[in-house]
Structure 1
Amino acid sequence: MKTRVPLALSLLLLGSGCTVYQSIGKSTGSFLHPVSGPDFVHIPDDEWNQKNALLYFYRTESQWAADEIEAPSVYIDGKHYFNIRNDSYTWLEVSPGERHIAMRRPLLGLEGMNSFSLSLIADGSINVEPGQIYYLRYNELSEPEKAHPDLDPEHPLGQGDLQLVTRDYAMQAGEIVSTRFLNSDLLAPNHAATSIVEVNEDADFEKRMEALEEERVLELERLQEEGKYESAAWYWPFGGGPTVPLEADRKIEQLEKDYAQLELDRERREELESGGGWWIF
């Protein structure tokens, strides 16, 4: 009965248009399901595109984590990908640029709604560069002995339970090299150890478009104040508008062209990967 309540509640909230954060059926902790994947190893360079970036997430071993009933969730740009259990690691190939990372602790799979979180463990953004590898360490009992030199001490991912660490630090004994791969299975499925570049690109497009639409509204208000805007006639409410071209419109048009080219490149890449089509004979 307890598992049905949060599921029904989440479905109700989803239907109402709210953003619900949940990992129902995916949050199984190490007390119930210890990680059993292979020991840590970097993925080969030819298995990810060097034009993108690679994020490694790992959680060092502790009795606290081993006794956990539910494991915390990891989100990239607002999308859930995995729940990280004791003594485990995984990775994600991401698009260059600003990536927002959040961790939430679930209660029966539910984690929050809109701006409210039951337990928000981490909430910060980092700018990732092409060809670079980043290591994010999670431990609720002990922080890294050394802070990342490229992060401001006040940066959200430079303090707290989830922190960005250097490669040298991650390669120490007892760190990522001592963890096991967070495999996906029926008891604790996840969507990690894969490329999420296209998801990132789509999210970046939507985010940029929203920003430009807001910029357009402000530009119209400014042009009205400067007298560069004609009001609609009383008998034709669909007329009127700015007397000069909008800079925001130019940016929106360019953004749409760039995104259309991106989609075309994806289609061409898929055709090449599939062998260029099919043959009926």
Structure 2
Amino acid sequence: MKSKRKGVATWLIGVVLGSAMAAGSVQAKEWKSVTIALDGSYAPWNLTLPGGKLSGFEPELVENLCARAQIKCNLVTQDWDGMIPGLQAGKFDVLMDAISITPDREKILALSKPYAATPATFSVADTKILPKASGNDTVKLDNDARSNQPAIEALRKALKGKTIGLQSGTIYTAFVNNNFKDVASIRVYKSAPERDLDLTNGRIDASFDDITYFTANASKSPVIIAGPTIAGPIWGPGEGLAFRKTDTDLKAKFDAAIVAAQADGTIKKLALKWFKTDVMP
């Protein structure tokens, strides 16, 4: 997160298109079944296995949440750009794709209680650009405004004249643009794997994303987690499910399921399995 990785600009495209339809669906539903959309290519949050089955932290978690809510859930894949229009048009009922909870998003979507909260960082293919992360160097930021912290200034100096890759529509866009656009080139990609391929092949110099994504994929490529970990309120309270504004009853069912899954250790168990660390908010 996504993806935490998901930003606001792309989401706004579908709001106007679906608002009239959404406004008409205010009556309560019984919610015996729902369709949940995931990207399917953001491991370890969600991934598509060779046979087409969805796997990862989120598919396993939502299976547990659906059982608690006594709802039959159908998981489908959808490119990020089509998620919001699909949700508003009734093609999906829930979005689950490492979606960060932010005030801007809450203006257009109903967002659940957070089920995870993770920091972000850079990755490089060449440590001459940025040194390999030490594992204990964390910078906490309060907002996405321009930061004058020494650690950020050091990153600006190291990345001056370089090209930074981002997945489109992510929450990280504002941070990277505010802090690095005046010293580096920013290149946007439709998916994280496309960006990673360009990093591996030397077409960009660095990329920025959720640290759990880089950690899970480190063994699959020569990409190196580099620089400090960026954490704090800048990323919001964490990642949650997204619903139509009108579906408050459905949100309430999943909120209760998330609280229960936190309380009995289910979320922690799945996080340790997929992330090798506890990501509880």
TM-score using structure 1 length: 0.20
Q: Which has the higher contact order (CA 8 A, sep 6+)?
A: 2
Higher-Rg structure is: 1
Higher helix share: 2
